[in-house]
Chains A and B, each alone.
Chain A
Amino acid sequence: MTIGLEHFLVLGALLFGVGLYVALAKRNAIGVLMGVELMLNAVNLTLVAFGRFVESEVALSTSVFVVFIIAVAAAEIAVGLALAMVVYRNRDTINVDRVNLLKW
């Protein structure tokens, strides 16, 4: 059997699913951010696979897209971790269950 597009898509789907679970269910804010990173990686993998296997108008436009996603991910993680730090400083915890001031 040839390794084809579907292999990578399924792999991406698995990664995305695990990332989703981690992002949804983990208690630690940094753990949640890990899940988000995992999902972004899955998406990137899928995009690069499409770019490799599917003919397109602009060569490697998917790779350009991935570069942008990585840039945005870096920005997102910087802000996210800064937020976690601020929450920690004010609330002494980064447990997302206990950071519920906006809930009520």
Chain B
Amino acid sequence: MDGVGHHLAFWSLAVITVGAALGILVSRNLIHAMVMLILSFIGVAGLYLLLSAEFIAVVQILVYVGAISVLMLFAILLTPRAARDNAETAMRYPGLILMGLVIAATVFVALETDWGAVREEPVAESARIIGQSLINEFVLPFEIAAVLLTAALVGAVALARRDDEDIDAHEQSLTLEGREDSGGSS
């Protein structure tokens, strides 16, 4: 990885990613922070592409940008009376110190450790290999992940939906007539 293109791509993507992350940090507006987060996700996806992990990059876009961000936007919209600011708590300065320490420690480890043999050429055809190892070596974790996702789905639905009597009381407060005839959910 020493071509001009690689340098250009890495440094621009690194600036975008870290800059967007810092944007989240300083932004006072939750939606602006959200946009920054999305930008950061996209930057990371670009870095994955640079690392020849096309599959992971696409999954990153699909899941983080396409699903998780949208979920978070929905959550922001569904909490209308909550504060929309993105201010800090009293943990601000301890947080800054901790952040500095963690970054320093990790960077030290990253730079001082001998990571052994470095592979020059990336492994090709990542999607097929990932798929094969998912259903060969990692079939049990794969199943567990599936169960976890289902459990999370059910849990999220169970948490987020109102109780039945809640809905009844709510609807009665809304209208004098029943809404049985409105057909389907809306």
Q: How far is the CA of A15 from the CA of B103 in the complex (A)?
A: 9
Number of interface residues of A (CB under 8 A): 78
Asked if B155 CB lies within 8 Å of chain A CBs, one says yes
Are B126 and A27 in contact, CB atoms less than 8 angstroms apart?
no
Among residues of A, the one whose C-beta sits closest to the C-beta of B2 is A2
Residues of A within 8 A of B141 (CB): 68
Q: How large is the interface on B (under 10, 10 to 19, 20 to 34, 35 or more residues)?
A: 35 or more
Q: Is B130's CB under 8 angstroms from A67's CB?
A: yes
Classify the secondary structure of A's interface with B: helix
User: Are B72 and A53 interface neighbours, CB within 8 A?
Assistant: no
- Do B118 and A6 have beta carbons less than 8 Å apart? no
Contact flags (1/0) for B123-164 with A, using CB distance below 8 Å? 100100110011001100100010011011101110110100
B134 touches A59 (CB 8 A): no
Given contacts A8-B47, A54-B115, A67-B59, contact A20 B75 (CB under 8 A): no
Tell whether, in the assembled complex, residue B83 and residue A20 are in contact, meaning their CB atoms are under 8 Å apart: no
Known contacts A6-B110, A20-B99; decide if A41 and B123 are in contact (CB<8 Å). Answer: no
Contact for A53 among B83, B89, B92, B115, CB less than 8 A: B115
Known contacts A2-B1, A3-B2, A92-B81; is-contact A81 B133 (Cβ 8 Å)? no
Q: A18-B22, A48-B51, A95-B82 are in contact. Are A85 and B160 (CB under 8 A)?
A: yes
